[in-house]
């Protein structure tokens, strides 16, 4: 139950600030420090500006791009800007005593990864030893990834140097590998026709939040209303942006940056969707248990103390945040009230009966409010459970690809759409060769890492509009709308060759294997979804019987 002093403080805050807020129509100037250059990654904030959500909240917001020499966390904690966007290493800042408060999560799954061109000779994460790696600030999860893979930093002799926020150093050979967003730089490399490898922390079981909106504890205490208003307007912006990608791409080019063309921005949007999950998870949603898991991983790898406290780290939108000066003013008011009360004893005696009735009603009101708060908490817990259930319903929990259940629904829909458009659709069935031997020889944990590694390869290779599924066990399926048989075959062969170079380090040595694939195309090989799946599966069987490590096209 909220204490009397806090209730009185809240009332005083409303009395003091309410009329002023109504009278003063001037907008409050606010700065948001971005984590990167202007792009779709921050579309929600642009949408909140363009749609007037910030103005409705009484705010005038400016956005500030990141640069190699600027620390976005310091920019917020020093008071240069009021808000910032940060990665999971906000935990490490908090552990070092920095007063950070995370207001909400945008990316349910971080897109941070490492990439190396094929010409560098780096085909697995362990070959980074002794290489030149360009890495951006706030990439602690990549360091955690290396440590979990047994690569000790700095003993590994990896030569880290600051990120230039571009790919030129990678292209001209000044860097052997670099940190990237899986939603961003792969597009540039694909357009250049380059072969490359993407190393994702998720292949080592590191699945962190990404792009977290944060502020400082001092600013929250001084301006709780501004924080609440900015957070709410920003989350409204994210809901709008993810529902209107074409409009947002045009807006970014017209008002923020033409560094990327529209196709590139829409590619970024499509890669962001499975990381944000706007269809299942409300914008800004964060689960304390997930943050605890992130902290446990950092602790396991010696990057975070075991006694780390989450106190004041996660923002609670339902909490009553009252500035310190209001408590001081409340004390003054109470002191004056006691003095005045001594002079009014006679009046209070006369009205004793009325006072008792008022007190009883206040107790009843507090009890109702306490019950309402309990009900709101239960509703939030139910919504959290619903979000998790929806996540499980459509996605494979290990690889985060779509699951078999969703495959049948989507394939029927895609065939109907391609029939209307008069375009073909290719289906690729993939099976990892000798997967049982991997599990028997190295253990199921290594088998899981192989599955995740293949999923990451598939995720980085498919186009915007393609869909990838873990069909079951070691089987995967790709749905390629608008793609004919020859191109479908080429896509499968590209995946096969990349996967053949993959190795997963174990205590017994490198675990390596290959894959086989079958390709069938609608309407050439089949007239409906069920038949198409059957033909692709038959082609896969032929590939297996012919010796594995090959791609076979279904018979006409």
Q: For 108-120, how does the pLDDT look when each residue is reduced to its tens digit (9 = 90+)?
A: 999 999 999 988 8
Average pLDDT over residues 16-42: 75
pLDDT at residue 346 is higher than 80: no
Of 20-24, 304-308, 419-423, the range with the lowest mean pLDDT is 20-24
Average pLDDT over residues 95-119: 93
Task: Note the pLDDT of residue 387.
Answer: 62
User: Would you give the distance in Å from CA 30 to the centre of its chain?
Assistant: 24
Average pLDDT over residues 314-325: 67
To the nearest 10°, report the CA torsion of 487, 489, 491, 495. Answer: -170
Average pLDDT over residues 328-350: 51
Task: Note the pLDDT of residue 325.
Answer: 47
Q: Do 39 and 137 belong together in one domain? A: no
In a domain, 314, yes or no: no
Average pLDDT over residues 195-209: 87
Q: Do 347 and 276 belong together in one domain? A: no
Angle at CA 213, nearest 5°, toward 212 and 219? 140
pLDDT at residue 552 is higher than 90: yes
pLDDT at residue 486 is higher than 70: yes
Task: Note the pLDDT of residue 25.
Answer: 55
Q: Which of 122, 111, 167, 139 is nearest to 460 (CA)?
A: 111
The model's pTM: 0.59
Q: Do 98 and 133 belong together in one domain? A: no
What is the overall mean pLDDT for the chain? 85
pLDDT at residue 145 is higher than 70: yes
Task: Note the pLDDT of residue 24.
Answer: 42
Q: Do 543 and 511 belong together in one domain? A: yes
In a domain, 310, yes or no: no
Q: Do 157 and 54 belong together in one domain? A: no
In a domain, 317, yes or no: no
Placement of tokens 């829909």 in the chain: 413
Task: Note the pLDDT of residue 320.
Answer: 53
Q: Do 408 and 496 belong together in one domain? A: yes
CATH of the domain at 127: 3.40.190.10
In a domain, 26, yes or no: yes
In a domain, 426, yes or no: yes
DSSP for 423-461, written as a single string: --EEEEEEEETTHHHHHHHH-HHHHHHHHHHHHHHHHHH
Residues 6 or more apart whose Cβ sits within 8 Å of residue 536 = 427, 428, 429, 477, 518, 519, 520, 554
In a domain, 53, yes or no: yes
Q: Do 411 and 527 belong together in one domain? A: yes
Helix (H) or strand (E) holding 505: strand 504-506
Q: Do 63 and 92 belong together in one domain? A: yes
CA distances from 107 to 46, 103, 239 (A): 16, 13, 13
Query: Alpha-carbon distance 455 to 504, whole Å?
Result: 14
pLDDT at residue 255 is higher than 50: yes
Q: Do 100 and 151 belong together in one domain? A: no
pLDDT at residue 487 is higher than 80: yes
When divided into structural domains, the chain yields a total of 4
Percentage of residues in the chain with pLDDT exceeding 70? 82
Residue 347 sits in which domain range?
324-393
Percentage of residues in the chain with pLDDT exceeding 90? 53
Q: Do 249 and 162 belong together in one domain? A: no
């Amino acid at each position: 139950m909220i204490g009397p002093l806090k209730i009185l403080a809240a009332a005083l805050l409303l009395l003091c600030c309410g009329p002023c807020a109504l009278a003063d129509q001037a907008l409050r100037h606010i700065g948001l420090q971005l984590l990167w250059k202007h792009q779709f990654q921050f579309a929600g904030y642009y949408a909140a500006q363009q749609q007037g959500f910030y103005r409705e909240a009484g705010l005038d917001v400016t956005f500030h791009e990141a640069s190699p020499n600027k620390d976005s966390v310091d920019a917020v904690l020093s008071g240069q800007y009021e808000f910032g966007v940060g990665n999971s290493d906000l935990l490490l800042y908090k552990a070092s005593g920095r007063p950070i408060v995370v207001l909400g999560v945008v990316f349910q799954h971080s897109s941070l990864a490492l990439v190396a061109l094929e010409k560098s000779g780096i085909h697995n994460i362990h070959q980074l030893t002794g290489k030149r790696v360009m890495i951006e600030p706030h990439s602690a999860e990549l360091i955690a990834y290396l440590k979990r893979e047994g690569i000790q930093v700095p003993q590994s002799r990896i030569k880290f140097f600051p990120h230039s926020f571009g790919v030129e150093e990678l292209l001209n050979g000044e860097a052997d590998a670099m940190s990237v967003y899986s939603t961003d730089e792969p597009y540039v490399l694909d357009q250049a026709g380059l072969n490359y490898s993407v190393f994702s922390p998720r292949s080592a079981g590191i699945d962190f939040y990404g792009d977290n909106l944060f502020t400082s504890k001092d600013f929250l205490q001084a301006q709780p209303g501004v924080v609440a208003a900015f957070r709410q307007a920003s989350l409204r912006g994210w809901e709008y942006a993810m529902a209107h990608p074409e409009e947002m791409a045009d807006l970014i080019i017209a008002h923020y940056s033409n560094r990327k063309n529209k196709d590139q921005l829409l590619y970024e949007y499509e890669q962001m969707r499975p990381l944000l999950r706007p269809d299942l998870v409300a914008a800004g949603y964060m689960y304390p248990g997930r943050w605890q898991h992130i902290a446990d991983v950092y602790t396991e790898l010696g990057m975070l103390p075991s006694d780390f406290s989450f106190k004041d780290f996660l923002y609670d939108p339902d909490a009553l945040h009252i500035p310190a000066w209001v408590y001081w003013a409340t004390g003054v008011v109470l002191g004056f009230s006691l003095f005045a009360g001594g002079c009014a004893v006679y009046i209070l005696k006369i009205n004793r009966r009325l006072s008792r009735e008022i007190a009883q009603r206040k107790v009843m009101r507090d009890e109702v409010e306490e019950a309402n708060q309990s009900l709101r908490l239960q509703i939030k817990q139910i919504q959290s459970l619903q979000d998790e259930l929806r996540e499980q319903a459509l996605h494979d929990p290990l690889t985060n690809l779509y699951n078999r259940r969703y495959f049948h629904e989507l394939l029927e829909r895609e065939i109907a759409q391609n029939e209307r458009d008069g375009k073909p659709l290719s289906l690729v069935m993939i099976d990892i060769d000798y997967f049982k031997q991997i599990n028997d020889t190295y253990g199921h944990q290594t088998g899981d890492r192989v599955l995740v590694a293949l999923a990451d390869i598939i995720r980085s290779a498919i186009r915007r509009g393609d869909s990838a599924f873990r069909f079951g066990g070691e089987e995967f399926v790709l749905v390629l709308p608008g793609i004919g048989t020859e191109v479908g075959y080429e896509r499968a062969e590209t995946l096969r060759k990349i996967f053949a170079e993959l190795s997963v380090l174990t205590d017994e040595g490198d675990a390596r294997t290959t894959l086989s694939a079958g390709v069938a195309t609608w309407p050439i090989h089949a007239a409906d979804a069920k038949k198409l799946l059957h033909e692709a599966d038959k082609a896969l069987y032929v590939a297996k019987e012919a010796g594995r490590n090959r791609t076979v096209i279904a018979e006409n």
